[in-house]
Structure formats: C-alpha cells, structure tokens
Amino acid sequence: MTEPIIAIRDLRKTFRSGEVDVHALRGVDLTVEHGEFLAIVGPSGSGKSTLFNILGGLTPPTSGTVIIDGQDLMKLSDSGRTNLRKKTVGFVFQKYNLLPTLTVGDNIEIARDIAGFKGPLDQQFRDVIETLGIADKMDRKPRQLSGGEQQRVAIARSVVNHPAILLADEPTGNLDTENSTLVLDLMRSLNKKLGQTILMITHNPEAAAFADRIVHMRDGHLHAAA
C-alpha cells in the first residue's frame, strides 16, 4: 500500500506574543494521498497560513509529526528544510511575486537555477506552459501581462521543478471572477493530467469547490466538510 504524501499527527504550533501564548494549531491530524487536490477553507486567524508555512518548511512546528513525501520535518535541519522548499514543494501565493525586471522566461528559469536544475526544459514542462497558455509570452515582462496571466506564470514557476506537492495560498485572491475560474481550471488540469498533488488554502467556497476534498479550519482545528 502506498504511503500518503502528507501525514500529520497531533500537530501543534504555539507562538509567544508578549507574555501570552497564542495556540495557532491545536492538535491537527491530516492525511493527503498522492495526486489529491485538497482545499482547506477557513476564516482569517483560523490557522490556515500557519499550517501552510509548516508544510512548506517555512516554520518549524512546536510538536507533533509531519511527514512530507517520506521526510520527517521534525528531524530536518535548516538546510534540509531549504532543500524541501527547493525540490519537494512548490508555492503559489496571492501576490504573484514575479521579478518585474525579468521576462516571463527568466522568472521561470531563476526558480530552476535556485533548485540546482540545469539544461533545457523537458517536454512535460513545455506541455505545462502550453496548458497554462503562456507559451507565447515568455519574452514579456510582468507589467505587460494581466493579473490572470501573471498568476499563470507564477504557477508555471512553482511547478517547473516537478515538485511532489503544490501549496497554493489564496491563489485567486487578487483576481476577478473570470480569471479566478481560469486559474482554478488550470490548476485542476495540472492535478488531473499530471497527477500533481495540490493543497489550496482559501476562504472562498466557490474556489474550494474545484478541489476533490474540502476540510474546514477554525481555531486551530481541522474539521471534515459536512
């Protein structure tokens, strides 16, 4: 039996704010299978972003077990978590975070350089570029693109190294309805065509509906969708 790509048990995260302990995560359990598209829905302050940052190796947990693609996060060094971000996890944020002075192609290529990948783009990624509809925009600068096009470039950059997991944090938060639907359709296409595992954080139930499974987060706890 194949092991899940993400396995979380009794995950807890406590921050110190002045003289007060803030319990952002309060014993979270979650299993995600290979190739699953999961949406985590919840209001601001529910713990979604903290969970996102832990899964991406950006923030260490206080306690609990977090296994990401066979790697125990509690046992990883700082350099180990850096390698996790480079090669195992791709990120898509609400803000596109494209470098304005670089072309679309260079924005994508710099992600490969950081991860240590060399050589020409493989055919699978060329197919991704075609699917995302940006093959004819590789020489343009971000300012020459619409918001939806910039988010598609951000998605391409996040999957250029074929990460096992794609973490998307409010990926349609800055987009209108038409572009939101387009981006979500494209993410679902990557999930179905390439088997890309996707975890999407959102407060929007319409965006969450594109996922295979929805869980709700409130006050540091996860709850299965009704």
Domain count, the chain: 1
3-state secondary structure of 43: coil
The distance in angstroms from the start CA to the end CA of the chain is: 28
Mean pLDDT of 5-15: 96
115 in any annotated domain: yes
14 in any annotated domain: no
- Neighbouring CB atoms inside 10 A of 177's CB total 9
102 in any annotated domain: yes
Element (H, E) at 136: none
Enclosing domain of residue 206: 34-60+78-224
pLDDT at 116: 74
Q: What is the mean pLDDT of the chain?
A: 89
Q: Name the amino acid, one letter, at 79.
A: S
Separation of alpha carbons 94 and 84, rounded Å: 21
In the chain, DSSP finds a helix count (H) and a strand count (E) of 7, 10
Separation of alpha carbons 142 and 96, rounded Å: 10
Element (H, E) at 132: helix 123-132
In 3D, which of 29, 25, 44, 35 has the Cα closest to residue 4? 35
199 in any annotated domain: yes
pLDDT over 80 (residue 120): no
pLDDT at 12: 96
135 in any annotated domain: yes
Element (H, E) at 13: strand 6-17
209 in any annotated domain: yes
* CATH label of the domain that carries residue 206: 3.40.50.300
Strand duo 165-169 + 197-202: pairing = parallel
pLDDT at 84: 87
Mean pLDDT of 100-119: 84
In 3D, which of 218, 221, 211 has the Cα closest to residue 39? 211
pLDDT at 162: 84
Separation of alpha carbons 25 and 186, rounded Å: 31
* Sheet bearing 63-68, strands edge to edge: 20-32, 6-17, 63-68, 71-72
Q: Name the amino acid, one letter, at 94.
A: Q
Model confidence band, residue 119 (pLDDT cutoffs 50, 70, 90): low
